[in-house]
């Protein structure tokens, strides 16, 4: 399906980045996010979960703004955070949106300074994001989207505590959880506390 429902800038930018159309599952995700719902986005590898989130993220954050980030994307490993950041940065650069990376292998002070200078989107790992938050490295008061990529891997990796500590500080905000599965007792407790009302979108 074509990109004609997206804002004009994205219709021009995305094909140059290798995204020329979106499948029905991705459009369901985009419509659900647009409606402001907390979502569990469940699909097999290759279904298009990550692309749908990235597209909607830059669809929802329309302009640069000094100060607090509007979106946080949490990944389960440094490598996944690095790849996510690289993809987002390619899309966001023409839109004049800043994407900063906060991962465990990077220099903490440099990451803190980069974020402090102003950013719209932070991509990172749970441990480093919590460390920076505890050091007042960023403010969540204007956050619009709190995104967990590969959610089941994050919880299997033992990051529930770090994620919960960030989540409990966030005011009203839209939560998006992406995963191949949502079967994990630790996740059930998290959903009950932070996403008591949510919708699930599954790929075929």
What is the percent of the chain where pLDDT is above 90? 62
Banded model confidence at residue 4, pLDDT cuts 50, 70, 90: confident
Average of per-residue pLDDT across 128-147:
94
Dihedrals phi, psi of 150, to nearest 5 degrees = 50, 55
How far is 75 from 125, CA to CA, in rounded Å? 5
Tokens 């699909």, located at residue: 43
Q: Which residues contact 132 (CB under 8 A, 6 or more apart)?
A: 102, 108, 111, 112, 115, 124, 138
Residue 1: the pLDDT is 59
Give the residue among 133, 131, 126 at the shortest CA–CA distance from 76. 126
Token code pair at residue 12: 């021009």
How far is 194 from 204, CA to CA, in rounded Å? 27
Give me the domains of the chain, ranges plus CATH numbers: 8-202 (3.40.50.300)
Average of per-residue pLDDT across 31-39:
91
Whole-model pTM: value is 0.94
What is the percent of the chain where pLDDT is above 70? 98
Encode pLDDT of 108-130 as tens digits.
Answer: 999 999 998 889 999 999 999 99
Higher-confidence residue of 56 and 140: namely 140
What is the overall mean pLDDT for the chain? 91
Residue 146: the pLDDT is 97
Banded model confidence at residue 37, pLDDT cuts 50, 70, 90: very high
């Amino acid at each position: 399906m074509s990109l004609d429902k997206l804002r004009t800038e994205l219709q021009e930018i995305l094909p140059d980045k290798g995204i020329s159309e979106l499948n029905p599952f991705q459009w369901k995700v985009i419509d659900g996010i647009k409606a402001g719902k907390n979502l569990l986005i469940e699909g097999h590898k290759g279904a298009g979960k990550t692309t749908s989130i990235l597209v909607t993220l830059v669809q929802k954050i329309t302009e640069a703004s000094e100060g607090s980030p509007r979106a946080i994307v949490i990944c389960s490993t440094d490598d996944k955070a690095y790849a996510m950041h690289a993809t987002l940065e390619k899309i966001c650069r023409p839109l004049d949106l800043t994407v900063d990376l906060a991962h465990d292998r990077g220099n903490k002070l440099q990451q803190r300074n980069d974020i402090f200078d102003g950013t719209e989107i932070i991509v990172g790992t749970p441990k480093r994001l919590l460390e920076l938050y505890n050091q007042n490295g960023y403010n969540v008061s204007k956050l619009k989207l709190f995104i967990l990529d590969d959610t089941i891997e994050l919880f299997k990796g033992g990051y529930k505590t770090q994620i919960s500590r960030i989540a409990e500080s966030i005011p009203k905000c839209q939560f998006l959880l992406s995963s191949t599965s949502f079967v994990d007792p630790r996740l059930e407790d998290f959903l009950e506390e932070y996403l008591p009302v949510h919708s699930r979108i599954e790929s075929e």
